[in-house]
Chain A
Amino acid sequence: MSFENGEQAGSGNDGLRPDLTAQTDEYGEMTRRLQRCINDLVSLLVLPAIWSGGGPSDIARTALDALMGMLEIDLLYLRLSLPGGEAPIEMFRIGNSQKQVGRPEEMGALLDRWLEADPKQSLPRATIRVGAEDMSVVPLRLGLQGEFGMIVAGSRHAEFPTQVQTLLLGVAANLTTIGLREAGLRSERSRAAEELDRRVAQRTSELAAANAELMKEIGERRQAEARLRHEETALRHSEARKAAILDSALDCIVTIDHGGHITEFNRAAEHIFGHRRDEVMGRTLAEVIIPPPLREQHRRGLERYLATNEAHVLGLRIETTALRADGTIFPVELAVTRIPLADPPSFTGFLRDITERKWAEEELRRSETFLAETRRLSSTGGFSKRIATGEIRWSAEIYQMFELDAAEPLTLGRILTRVHPEDVHSFNEMLDQQERGVDYEHDCRLLMPDQSIKYLHVVARATCDDGELEYFGAVQDVTQRRLAEQALAKARSDLAHVTRVTSIGAMTASIAHEVNQPLAGIVTNASTCLRMLAADPPNVDGARETARRTIRDANRASDVISRLRAMFSRKEAIFETMDLNEAAREVIALSLSELHRHRVVLRQEFADDLPTVVGDRIQLQQVILNLVLNASEAMSDVQDRPRRLVVSTEREGDDHVRLMVQDVGVGFDTQSLNRLFDAFYTTKSGGMGIGLSVSKSIIENHRGRLSAIPNDGPGATFAFSIPRGSEGVTRAGVGGAGWMSAGTDAPLTPRQP
């Protein structure tokens, strides 16, 4: 464009000087050519400004376009070598008139020749044939060595290239070279900058990664340190704990290494074995605490384990013996464990002195044997019962007594199937007693399936461990004893009866007197009555009075008969609460005439506040009668003094009642005192000698005592004392005596008072 403008402007200037045309045409032409050349140079010189920032192909293209416009040539070729081995870029520009650019082979050969030419020499011009015409082609290197490529310009003009064309081509080639170098440098710089950026980024990222790695490492190291510190603390605590455990352990703790050398020996071990720790550390276990007979076994066991890992004692609890410092050997319980992770293996032994336990076991065994034997010999069984749970445990003996299968669960219901129906009530009372936690004794009968009866005696003691009430007791089968007691009671009762009946003989006169007296009254009164009624007029009032007396006397006779019947017919003992004074008065009433007949002067001194007693009234009256008649008899030969007889009662201490019969008779010498109460011992001509013997057994059956004491003066005093009827005494007396007296009519039924 600029070329067009320049030409137009030049044409304009030509019109100013028309007169100089001929002469000045040459100059003008030259000037125009110079002007044009300058314009073209200026156009070329502004190219770098246009290229600024462009790439090599942009520079090449712009340079080609500028040259094509200003040189009036037919061909322009530019080969642009690219750095980095890329394929070169080729560009063509062909003039407007030109249709052909020559044969391509011809151009290629030229280019090859030029490209391979020595860079130090200038490139030769060439001529190529284009159609019918020749064309001059001029090569120019881009760069001193053609390192940027080559420009080839071609024209059919013969003068080609002119000086101006050469100048312009040269300037264009240099400018292009400079532009390409700058572009190259720019590109290089840009690449370097990119490379730098890339490297910086890479380095930065590497640093960041390294940093992160470092931070991680630091973190890990801190954690590791913390862990280490924690583990150290834990280890210290563990060590302290271990030391504390070792020191305070009740068991001996001894550790050994694989050679059997002691590596630990705690306080308990020091105490029990009598060795000091610092004395035994490092010595072999065998020589320190293993009794000589066991050392070889220990050595072999350790060797075998180390060789084969086969252990006979590891992890087991065994009983063996150990050796004290003083040479004594004692039983121990031993457990050996291998210390975990220890390599070579080491071991911990836990030892416990079981001397006392062995002794206790032996004692227990002996005690159990003793107890079992005792139970067997005494027909006794043991039981326990927890009140809270109702759990009952029996020894084998009780199962045998009850004839119950020990394999089946023991329940109250099963037990009750054996309890005698008449004893179920008292059995339940016993259970109530258990709830109160008091010790008790209990008698109970069993009714067995074959209708036989067993008598059991139970003694139970309450214990209260940890607030839990539990009974331990013994059950004894007392059937044989009970039957023997019953037989004895029956014999005694029969004997007492015999002696009472016997005494009828001695009492015959008295009894006849007692009966005849009221009978006399009856007959007399009845006779009088009849006579009064037969009179004229009849004495009705008198008759009524005598009839009344008749009835009174008849009642009196009846009373006597009743007393006699009571005294001499009944055999069974009946225990009841009774007044001893009253019983004694009745006896005296019955024997009064006998006493009169023997001229006995009787005095009665009965205590007013005498407590009641529990006993068999008839049996006690028999004793009193026996004592009174004996006293009377003892005084039968006394003529020189009143035959004084004193019957008295009094309290004896807080819990006994005493009755005394004192006479002034012949008495007895102290030598015969021991035999007084023997059966068949008598000083009387007509006596059997069983009266005092029976009396003694009766009193003893009342838990009392019969005694005889010579008086200071003439005669003797016979007395008995029996427990007063307090609640406790009543219960015991009734229970025991009740069974013993269960005799004649229903031998298997205890009487309830």
Chain B
Amino acid sequence: MSARLLVSVVDDDESVRESLPDLLNEFGFAVQAFSSAEEFLASDYVDRTRCLILDIAMPGMSGPDLQLELSQRGQDIPVVFVTAHGDESVRPRLLKQGAAECLFKPFSDTALLAALTTALQGG
């Protein structure tokens, strides 16, 4: 199963880190979960990550900050933002800045699959 693409999840909410990997596994992805941007950057999975599911608001480095950081490092990993804040106005701005998609919690499994598909095709 080495053909499986690695999707990394960065979210400070534990229940997300718990539930999302299982669903992604069902989709057929390999998954790694991180509780903060800093933890992800420090890990060995940055290079291998094919797609990043990233929370916007987190203590410390936020989701957009991480995206900017990766971009500056020259690692253009496709990003799907997820957020519990229902502020729709952030979505166009994020898409403009290069995000593959921005999902508002709660989101359906098909919406997630579609976003991942978009992200991977774009990449």
Residues of A within 8 A of B (CB): 509, 512-514, 516-525, 527-528, 531-532, 535, 542, 545-546, 549, 552-553, 556, 593, 596-597, 599, 601
Contacts and interface: CB of A to CB of B under 8 A. Distances in A.
A527 B15 contact: no
A691 to B, nearest CB: 23
A257 B53 CA distance: 130
Nearest to B15: A521
Given A516-B86, A516-B104, A522-B106, A596 B57 contact: yes
Which of the listed residues B16, B85, B87, B108 has the most CB atoms from chain A within 10 Å of its own CB?
B85
B86 A517 contact: no
Interface stretch (B20-28, B40-48, B91-99, B115-123): B20-28
B109 A531 contact: yes
A545 B22 CA distance: 10
Interface in B4-31: 12-13, 15-16, 18-20, 22-23, 26
B26 A549 contact: no
Contacts of B84: 512-514, 516-517, 520, 593
B87 A524 contact: no
Nearest to B56: A597
**Majority-rule SS of A interface residues:** helix
A328 to B, nearest CB: 93
A553 B108 CA distance: 16
B87 A549 contact: no
Which of the listed residues B18, B82, B112 has the most CB atoms from chain A within 10 Å of its own CB?
B18
27 contacts: A513-B84, A513-B85, A514-B84, A516-B84, A517-B105, A519-B106, A520-B15, A520-B19, A520-B107, A521-B16, A523-B108, A524-B19, A524-B23, A525-B19, A527-B109, A528-B22, A528-B26, A531-B109, A542-B22, A546-B19, A553-B15, A553-B19, A593-B85, A596-B12, A596-B58, A597-B57, A597-B85
A553 to B, nearest CB: 6
A549 B23 contact: no
A488 B51 CA distance: 60
A518 B13 CA distance: 9
A527 B86 contact: no
Nearest to A530: B109
Interface in B52-69: 57-59, 62
Contact of B108 (A513, A527, A545, A546): A527
Nearest to A511: B86
Contacts, number: 88
A560 to B, nearest CB: 11
Given A524-B20, A524-B23, A549-B15, A512 B109 contact: no
A39 to B, nearest CB: 204
B57 A517 contact: no
Nearest to A534: B26
Contact of A524 (B58, B85, B106): B106
A516 B106 contact: yes
Nearest to A539: B26
A528 B23 contact: yes
A599 B61 CA distance: 10
Given A517-B13, A517-B105, A521-B106, 7 more contacts: A516-B86, A520-B16, A523-B107, A523-B109, A527-B23, A532-B26, A597-B57
Interface of B: 12-13, 15-16, 18-20, 22-23, 26, 57-59, 62, 82, 84-87, 104-109, 112
B86 A512 contact: yes
B85 to A, nearest CB: 5
Contacts of B109: 523-524, 527-528, 531
Contact of B59 (A524, A542, A553, A596): A596
A517 B26 contact: no
Nearest to B14: A521
A524 B21 CA distance: 10
Given A512-B85, A524-B106, A553-B15, A546 B58 contact: no
A509 B23 CA distance: 27
A527 B109 CA distance: 6
B57 A516 contact: no
A531 B23 contact: yes
Which of the listed residues B59, B85, B106, B108 has the most CB atoms from chain A within 10 Å of its own CB?
B106
Contact of A531 (B18, B19, B26, B62): B26
A509 B26 contact: no
A601 B60 CA distance: 9
B89 to A, nearest CB: 11
A319 B86 CA distance: 96
Contact of A518 (B15, B82, B87): B15
A527 B112 CA distance: 11
Contacts of A520: 15-16, 19, 82, 84, 105-107
Given A516-B106, A517-B13, A597-B57, A546 B85 contact: no
Given A509-B85, A516-B106, A521-B15, A546 B22 contact: yes
Contact of B15 (A517, A545, A593, A597): A517
Contacts of B58: 596
Which of the listed residues B26, B62, B87, B108 has the most CB atoms from chain A within 10 Å of its own CB?
B26
Given A519-B106, A520-B106, A596-B58, A549 B85 contact: no
- Nearest 5 pairs of A and B residues by beta carbon: A520-B105, A527-B109, A516-B84, A523-B106, A519-B106
A518 B16 CA distance: 9
A527 B113 CA distance: 11
A517 to B, nearest CB: 5
Nearest to A517: B84
B37 to A, nearest CB: 13
Nearest to A535: B26
Contacts of A593: 57, 84-85
Given A516-B105, A527-B108, A521 B86 contact: no
A512 B107 CA distance: 14
A509 B22 CA distance: 28
A538 to B, nearest CB: 12
B103 to A, nearest CB: 9
B66 to A, nearest CB: 15
Nearest to B103: A520
